[in-house]
Amino acid sequence: MFRGRFSSCYGAVGIDLSSRAIKMLQLRERSGELAVVGAATEPIPFTEDGKVDGEKMTRQIRHAIATGGFSGRRCVISLPRKQVKIQSIRLPRMSDPELLEAARWEAAQRFEFDRQAMEVSILRTGASPQGGESREEVLLVAASHAVINEYVNPIVTAGLRPLAIDTDFGATARIFSRQYRREGDRDQVRVVIEIGESGATVEILRGDQVAFCKPIGGGGRDFTKAVAEHLQITPKAAEELRASRLIAARHGSEKSVKDEKTDRAVYEAVRPLLGDLVKEVTLCIRYYGVTFRGRPPFQIILAGGDGQEPNLDRMIQESCKLPVVYDDQIETLAGLQRQIRDSFNRDPGPPGCWAVAAGLSLRGLSEIRHSLTIQNDHGARRGAA
């Protein structure tokens, strides 16, 4: 009778593979509260020809497992953003098997994948188009077997047991939807903008369901390149300068760097890119409002390692006329970040950069399912959740 109050449930090890880094995070849920079990970060090793160095990555994963405090071998993985194709399409209403088969043909044509060498997943958004259209909005997600094997095989060889390859947007939706899992929460509409190093994703959530999702350009790498070119400094120096501004922004400093002129110059360098990103976000929200029935969003959540770029929140708020926040109402990510900092004994980065890894770890503790599932072997992965 007291099981729900005192029982503890461990999530899988969430492995967020970005373009350059591996973030590993495992969460435990007890009495509705989340706690960090283990955390680790490692760089993704590449060979001279740009391929993943599988042997070195296996050693890094083993080291992370041994030192990160993780429990168990189950894991859920998200591939680098650029390696997963996502597109919103409209298809006639049909059964799940028929819809998946139609999606395979669509993916082969749109993404130029071999139908026998890719994994495809579909997500019914549940968004109802205006005018009673007979077709439905579906998110098409695809990745090639070659990419899956390149990133997943080293993890399997390291001794972990993958349960699924999830999407970064699915993981982000999961962590920000813990308070909106009831049927009555469908009217609670939020926009989540996750900005990583290689790009950004805009998704609109109705309760705990993804109603809209679109990858857009403009990531941390583009911001760093713009700063390096504008200030005529090395990319490494530009990256460090941007990092100092992000740290200052998190701590509420009035000035991002000591030199006000430099701070202004950095903003001038990234402002055109921020403007393009804000324009894309505005168009996404407008498209959703015009195309689908239901209530409009009541807030925008900025997440990702580059989501706290100074002035971005102000620009989005002014353009979209919606409040912009960095976390949910109970500060889930902020609370986890404090625990991760204790594990690392150093600054783990902005809370938003752990949103994907946290959502991956919660896979299985939530009813949200948007992923490509895989078999626990070393060959081509099969099936779709």
pLDDT one-digit tens code per residue, 47-68: 999 899 999 999 999 999 999 9
Residue 299 is assigned to a structural domain of this protein: yes
Whether the predicted pLDDT of 77 surpasses 50: yes
Identify which has the larger pLDDT, 37 or 247.
37
Q: Is the pLDDT of residue 3 over 60?
A: no
Domain count, the chain: 2
Q: Are residues 58 and 189 in the same domain?
A: no
**The pLDDT of residue 380:** 34
**18 within domain boundaries:** yes
Range of the domain at 244: 183-327
Of residues 130 and 278, the one with the higher pLDDT is 278
**pTM, rounded to two decimals:** 0.88
Sign of torsion, CA 193 198 199 201? negative
Q: 6 falls in which pLDDT band (50, 70, 90)?
A: very low
- Please give the average per-residue pLDDT across 229-241, as a whole number: 94
Q: Which of 327, 360, 376 is the last residue of a domain?
A: 327
CATH number, position 48: 3.30.420.40
Give the model confidence (pLDDT) of 104-154 as tens digits: 999 999 998 898 999 999 998 877 666 666 788 899 999 999 999 999 999
pLDDT at position 128: 65
In this structure, which amino acid lies at residue 137?
E
249 pLDDT higher than 80 = no
- Residues 322, 344: one domain? no
Q: Is 184 helix (H, G, I), strand (E, B) or coil?
A: helix
Which amino acid is present at 339?
A: Q
Question: Does the pLDDT of residue 371 top 50, yes or no?
Answer: no
Q: Are residues 348 and 265 in the same domain?
A: no
| Dist CA 378 CA 158 (whole Å) | 12
Say yes or no: 296 and 315 in one domain.
Answer: yes
CB-based contacts of 9: which residues, under 8 Å, 6+ apart? 28, 29, 30, 365
- Per-residue pLDDT at 218: 86
Q: Which of 288, 306, 327 corresponds to the end of one domain?
A: 327
Portion of the chain with pLDDT greater than 90, in percent = 65
284 φ, ψ to 5°?
A: -60, -45
pLDDT reported for residue 258: 56
Q: Same domain for 247 and 274?
A: yes
Q: Taking 80 as the threshold, does the pLDDT of residue 241 lie above it?
A: yes
Q: Give the type of residue at 325.
A: V
